[in-house]
Amino acid sequence: MLRIKRTIPRLLLVFLLAGLFSACSTPKRISRLEEHAASLLDQAQAQEFGVDEYEELLLDDYENYPVPEQPEQIELLHLDLRDSLAMAAKYSREYQSAKETLYLSSLSLLAEANQWDWNPVNNFSALWGIEQKPSSSTLGTNTGLGMRKRFFSGARFSANLGLQTLRFLSGDRTVNLTSIANVSLSMPLLAGRGADIVREPLTQAERNLIYALRHYVRAREALLINVAERYYAVLNAKESLEIGKATYASVASSLERSKAMADAGRVDPFQVDQAQQKVLTAESNLVSLEENYQSAIDQLKSVLGIPLDIGLEADSKDLQRLAEQKLPNPPMDFDAAVQTALKQRLDYATAQERLEDARRQVRIAEDALRPTLNLALSGDARSDTSNSLQLMKFADSDYTAGLDMELPLERTDELVRYRRSLIIERQQEREMVKARDNIIGDLRNVWRQLRSYEQSYQIQRVSVTLSEKRVESTQLLFEGGRVDIRELLDAQDDLSSAKNSLTRSLVNHRISWLKLLYQLGQLPIDPGSLWSEQLELQ
């Protein structure tokens, strides 16, 4: 009897220890979850890209760019393009968000896949009862442990073992024990039967992970272009500022020469006023150029995830190396480029497969209009109630078999879902056509821009050469008194404008080249540094 009286406290202790173990093992369970998520991400990469070495896509703890506590400890950052991309890979908030979106998709798939595993189930409940007349009190417990499983055929299986106890806390203080076993199986025979119907939530979760992986890769490529565009914008603004300073120095020198010549009576005083006005204009232009330069730096910092109060300076040698490069040409003609983009663009592949998703939903909604017929099988066994554990009497078990049928006499909700799925299918068809048109349109635009900037660059190179010669000759003519100061000032302005246009055309051509590769789906990127071989300069 003493052994029986200790049964309930022992059961309570077992469940308390199990709960404590679960709480203490949370880090280990998270670690196993990470391993499962990594496996799903590796499988997605293998399916989509067919690679042997997988990118590690698990999340690292995001850290903001470290800022010293004392302002005087802040050092100036000197970055080239490679350094800027490495900074973005580490600190870009957009890049981190893209990683998190992908990881969340893997967790969604993991949760859905778990529904199809053998999963343990358990329960424990206790009920304390008091009766006034006659005065008595009882404590009942119900403990269960089992397994459950879903199958792609639509079948659901469960098996449970349980123990029921009833202890009288007054009177003779006896304990009644009953052990229970239960097995059940249910299966649809008409509507809801078959792997293509039953497995759909898991199929869609798998597809969503592939879509998220593609979006992540495209977002990474877009980030590279964004960083490169902001970086070269800084170099362009810096070059414009240097050109502006040179122009200011040139017109200021012209002003001094015009004053000297006016004092000597060689030019009219109004020409000095013209030079003075041009100096003021150049000085005002310097203020605007400095503002544009600082604004470009702030925009680059924002893209990189660097605080705005951190000083930053871009490497001007990158612009020099770019100017020394031969402008690249498109790797194919336009018609071939369109076919390549439609074949390799990940976002277009997603648009096509979302149409397949919509068509699956139509089939599933159509299946729900059929009559339902479910088969249910179950078996129960229990022991005799006693103050000690008894063997279950399987010979006296209860077995049941049944059919549950529902004719499709009222299917309004199902008809609404079916009609909605047909509309969504048509919408996805239009979205796929729209995606194709957008790809061709975007490709045509960047193709034209690339050609336009190439022609502009070649024109501006000639323009700079001619403007330099014009400034030299006009300077000599002015000093010889053969032209007035306006001719010289206009020549200096034209030289400044030509140099700015040359740099702008060079930078725009470079960015358009990267955008062309992006549109073609041919911009491979190292995930750790965001560097691409297409950025290499000889």
Give the pLDDT confidence of 190-210 residue by residue, as tens digits: 999 999 999 999 999 999 999
pLDDT of residue 391: 73
User: What is the DSSP code (8-state) at residue 311?
Assistant: -
Contact criterion met (CB below 8 Å) for 436 and 348: yes
- Residue where the block lists tokens 């999340």: 59
pLDDT of residue 72: 67
Contact criterion met (CB below 8 Å) for 417 and 221: no
Judged on CB neighbours under 10 Å (0-12, 13-18, 19+), 535 is middle
pLDDT band, very low/low/confident/very high, at 371 (cuts 50, 70, 90)? very high
Tell me the C-alpha distance between 436 and 439, whole Å: 5
For residue 406, the surrounding DSSP H or E stretch is strand 398-406
Partners of 158 in the beta sheet? Answer: 148, 184
CA terminus-to-terminus distance, the chain: 90
Pair type for strands 372-382 and 175-188: antiparallel
Tell me the C-alpha distance between 77 and 304, whole Å: 12
For residue 175, the surrounding DSSP H or E stretch is strand 175-188
Partners of 175 in the beta sheet? Answer: 167
Contact criterion met (CB below 8 Å) for 163 and 179: yes
* 377, pLDDT greater than 50: yes
Partners of 186 in the beta sheet? Answer: 156, 376
Q: Helix or strand or coil: residue 373? A: strand
pLDDT band, very low/low/confident/very high, at 6 (cuts 50, 70, 90)? very low
* 384, pLDDT greater than 80: no
What mean pLDDT value characterizes the chain?
A: 88
User: What is the rounded average pLDDT of the residues 504-520?
Assistant: 96
pLDDT band, very low/low/confident/very high, at 266 (cuts 50, 70, 90)? confident
Tell me the C-alpha distance between 77 and 300, whole Å: 12
Alpha-carbon distances of 419 from 95, 192, 411, 457, 487, rounded to whole Å: 39, 18, 12, 56, 75
Give the pLDDT confidence of 394-425 residue by residue, as tens digits: 777 788 999 999 999 999 999 999 999 999 99
